[in-house]
């Protein structure tokens, strides 16, 4: 299972694209979130962009789904014909269609591929190709569903936005890779995660690796030394702060194989 960090930034980061993740296996591909700056990163990073099978939207904040019009319209221009599935919380179809219609009126009706929609809810399990998806609500001002992706004996967890909850902790248990929103270093920001809390969350989940994303832009600029020092103190899990375009491949739990390309 290969994870490419299309973007790792928060909503208004001037150096990093919005947090967005491309999950690929030999049989399936899934994009997690697509904010307004994510499409350019997707087209640069995806080896076969028109083969993308599905897009998951964790919640309805612009830095997580406003990139859909640009992404879908370029797919239309590139001649995509295969159907595309968009997953999200109840009402996802109406929200997405309204957003695309506002950006490019009448364009969906002329698209050369069909869109289908799947509604997701906390506690639900969905099979998508060779992936099994599970969901839990995080602590965020707008309802946000964290997601777990299992494929064979490999698993990753992505928090979307928001602090940890008992339900997200249960969902993440045993995941190989945890990707968690970590907006600040250690001060509580209502509805967001912190670096310290994310490390503790991943340790309790038994994860082998933790990727910190959606870090507040000034933390990256002015507190990087402090951030790196905090990371160096973590023995388990292994903690990374990926850049946009980095990737990680989970090859197998057997033999504890884990390839990190960051």
Mean pLDDT across the stretch 186-214? Answer: 93
Assess if residue 77 is contained within a domain. yes
Which segment of 190-194, 223-227, 251-255 scores lowest on mean pLDDT? Answer: 251-255
Assess if residue 260 is contained within a domain. no
Work out the pLDDT band at 188, boundaries 50, 70, 90.
confident
Instruction: Give the pair of three-digit tokens for residue 19.
Output: 């947090």
Assess if residue 257 is contained within a domain. no
- CATH number of the domain where residue 63 is located: 3.60.15.10
| Residue 255 or residue 62, greater confidence | 62
Q: Domain of 147?
A: 2-249
Beta strands in the chain (DSSP E): 2-7, 20-24, 29-32, 54-56, 84-88, 115-119, 125-128, 131-137, 145-151, 154-158, 177-181, 209-213, 238-240, 247-252, 257-261
Instruction: Give the pair of three-digit tokens for residue 258.
Output: 């884990």
Q: pLDDT value at position 258?
A: 44
Nearest-angstrom CA–CA distance, 139 and 217: 21
Query: Average model confidence (pLDDT) for the chain?
Result: 93
Assess if residue 7 is contained within a domain. yes
Mean pLDDT across the stretch 153-168? Answer: 97
Tens digit of each residue's pLDDT (9 = 90 or more) over 81-137: 999 999 999 999 999 999 999 999 999 999 999 999 999 999 999 999 999 999 999
Nearest-angstrom CA–CA distance, 110 and 75: 12
Instruction: Give the pair of three-digit tokens for residue 51.
Output: 């083969």
Assess if residue 256 is contained within a domain. no
**What is the Cβ-side half-sphere exposure of residue 61, based on CA atoms within 13 angstroms?**
18
Mean pLDDT across the stretch 144-150? Answer: 98
| Residue 262 or residue 86, greater confidence | 86
CB atoms within 10 A of CB 48: 8
Q: pLDDT value at position 254?
A: 53
Q: pLDDT value at position 217?
A: 96
Which segment of 172-176, 209-213, 230-234, 247-251 scores lowest on mean pLDDT? Answer: 230-234
Instruction: Give the pair of three-digit tokens for residue 216.
Output: 């507040």
Tens digit of each residue's pLDDT (9 = 90 or more) over 17-29: 999 999 999 889 9
- pTM for the model: 0.94
Assess if residue 211 is contained within a domain. yes
Q: How many domains does the chain have?
A: 1
Q: pLDDT value at position 115?
A: 96
For 198, phi then psi, to 5°, come to -65, -40
Assess if residue 49 is contained within a domain. yes
Contact 122, 150 (CB under 8 A): no
CB atoms within 10 A of CB 149: 25
Assess if residue 196 is contained within a domain. yes
What CA dihedral angle connects 234, 236, 241 and 247, to 10 degrees?
Answer: 160
Tens digit of each residue's pLDDT (9 = 90 or more) over 220-249: 999 999 999 988 888 789 999 999 999 999
Nearest-angstrom CA–CA distance, 48 and 226: 38
Residue with tokens 């969905």: 126
Backbone Cα Rg of the chain: 17
Mean pLDDT across the stretch 162-174? Answer: 97
* Residue 218 backbone zone (phi > 0: left; psi -120 to 50: alpha; other: beta): alpha
């Amino acid at each position: 299972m290969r994870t490419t960090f299309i973007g790792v930034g928060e909503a208004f980061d001037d150096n990093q694209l919005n947090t967005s993740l491309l999950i690929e296996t030999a049989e399936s591909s899934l994009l997690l979130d697509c904010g307004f700056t994510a499409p350019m990163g997707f087209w640069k990073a995806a080896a076969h962009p028109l083969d993308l099978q599905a897009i998951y939207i964790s919640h309805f904040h612009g830095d997580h789904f406003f990139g859909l019009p640009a992404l879908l319209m370029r797919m239309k221009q590139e001649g995509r014909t295969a159907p595309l599935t968009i997953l999200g919380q109840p009402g996802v179809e109406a929200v997405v269609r309204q957003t695309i219609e506002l950006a490019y009126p009448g364009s969906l009706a002329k698209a050369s591929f069909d869109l289908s929609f799947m509604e997701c809810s906390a506690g639900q399990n969905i099979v998508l190709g060779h992936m099994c998806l599970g969901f839990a609500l995080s602590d965020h001002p707008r309802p946000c569903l964290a997601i777990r992706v299992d494929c064979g004996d490999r698993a990753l967890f992505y928090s979307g936005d928001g602090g940890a909850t008992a339900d997200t902790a249960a969902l993440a248990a045993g995941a190989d890779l945890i990707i968690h929103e970590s907006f600040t270093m250690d001060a509580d920001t209502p509805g967001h995660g912190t670096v310290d809390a994310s490390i503790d969350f991943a340790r309790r989940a038994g994860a082998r690796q933790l990727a910190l994303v959606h870090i507040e832009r000034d933390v990256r600029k002015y507190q990087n030394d402090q951030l790196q020092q905090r990371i160096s103190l973590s023995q388990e899990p292994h903690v990374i702060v990926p850049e946009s375009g980095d990737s990680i491949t989970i090859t197998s739990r057997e033999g504890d194989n884990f390839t990190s390309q960051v």
